[in-house]
Structure 1
Amino acid sequence: MSQPNPRPHATRKSLAVSAQSEEFFRRQKTSASDLPSPETFTLNVVRGILEVLAGSREVEQLSRWLSEEVYRTVAVRANLAARARSARGVVGPRTTHLIRSVHLFSPADHVVEATVTASTRVRTRAIALRLEGLDGRWRVTSLGVL
């Protein structure tokens, strides 16, 4: 036969403390007013992503600003692009991208959705990304590159 718990409130209290500490260590939303310009951040991070895909920058250099999922996506695409360049016999990084336009939309205080158009002499790309203010900095939490 099981013994009754002599201190049932202790279990509830430890669960409450556990929930509070879990909330404390979770990523904290940061207001856009407390962060640098989202347009400047968008320009810089898009340039970095395009340089990674072109093979002229290591994806690790962007890890601070990308969520884990976006980081993995960029790393996989960079590896595929490197293999494609190798198969075609292309040596060295491709030409630099010129940012043609940036459009920003903020559906919430700590969120910015951006679309960017960038081009080289032979190709134009559309990039869509979602920035979230987390832990005192912008982070890319969603990315689409066409």
Structure 2
Amino acid sequence: MTASPSSAAAPAPAPSPLRLVVVPTPQPPLQDGRVPVRLVHPGLSAPRPAHRPGPRPRPAYAARDDDFGPAWSARAELPDARDAGRRLITLTLEALAGRRPLAQLQPITSLGVFAALSGGRRPRWCAEGTSPLVVGPVHVCEPVDGVAEVTAVARRGGRAHAVAARLEGIDGRWRCTALQVG
């Protein structure tokens, strides 16, 4: 038996040639002190630098009396992150359970975290029931100087729930800037 020409496999189409696509990098234009260089088209604005979470670099000059506002603190200027994290997690869970006023969290949280706690709904496992809340060991990771990420497991009524927070050193004390209660 011979195969008919119609049943033979059709030749594969030739692959399309590769082409180079130039993608602009999301970096600010390079600046040289000797010769000003402009790498941006005249009609376009310069791209914004990438967001880098964490504390901002501290200024090299000495602080003057007329400086004001919050100042980032180095790790050496801050208390123990594990104790601060345990205190934050315990206070937060007690406030969500209705055992202490939410206003007590205001000094140790950022405005955004406090607004979310005040206006958000409370986790059902935290708000309902009378069994005690038990916070397990607090784990601390310090990815950058002046920043601590703390996690713990809270138990209530035989169930475990994860709690995570980001603490940043501001004005010589830890302040919670992100909080997740699972």
Task: State whether TM-score is above 0.5.
Answer: yes
Structure 2 alignment gaps of length 5 or more: 1-62
Alignment-derived partner of residue 28 in structure 2: none
Q: Which amino acid aligns with 2:102?
A: V
Counterpart of 1:81 (choices 119, 122, 134) is 122
Contact 1:66 1:140 in 2 (8 A): yes
Aligned length: 117
Cα RMSD after superposing both structures: 2.4
Alignment-derived partner of residue 63 in structure 1: 106
Query: How far does residue 26 in structure 1 lie from its aligned partner after superposition?
Result: 3.2
Identity, % of aligned positions: 31
Counterpart of 1:131 (choices 167, 175, 182) is 167
Contact 1:42 1:114 in 2 (8 A): yes
Alignment-derived partner of residue 93 in structure 2: 50
Query: How far does residue 138 in structure 1 lie from its aligned partner after superposition?
Result: 0.4
- Following TM superposition, where does structure 1 have runs of at least 4 consecutive aligned residues deviating by more than 3 angstroms? none
Alignment-derived partner of residue 106 in structure 1: 142
- Distance (Å, rounded) in 2 between the aligned partners of 1:43 and 1:111: 15
Alignment of 1:20-31 (within 5 A): 24-31=67-74
Closer, same or farther: CA 76–133 of 1 in aligned 2, 3 Å: same
More helix by share: 1
TM-score (structure 1 length as normaliser): 0.71
Q: Which structure carries more relative contact order (alpha carbon 8 Å, separation 6+)?
A: 1
Contact 1:31 1:133 in 2 (8 A): yes
Alignment-derived partner of residue 178 in structure 2: 142
Q: Which amino acid aligns with 1:145?
A: V
Query: How far does residue 56 in structure 1 lie from its aligned partner after superposition?
Result: 0.5
Query: How far does residue 116 in structure 1 lie from its aligned partner after superposition?
Result: 1.0
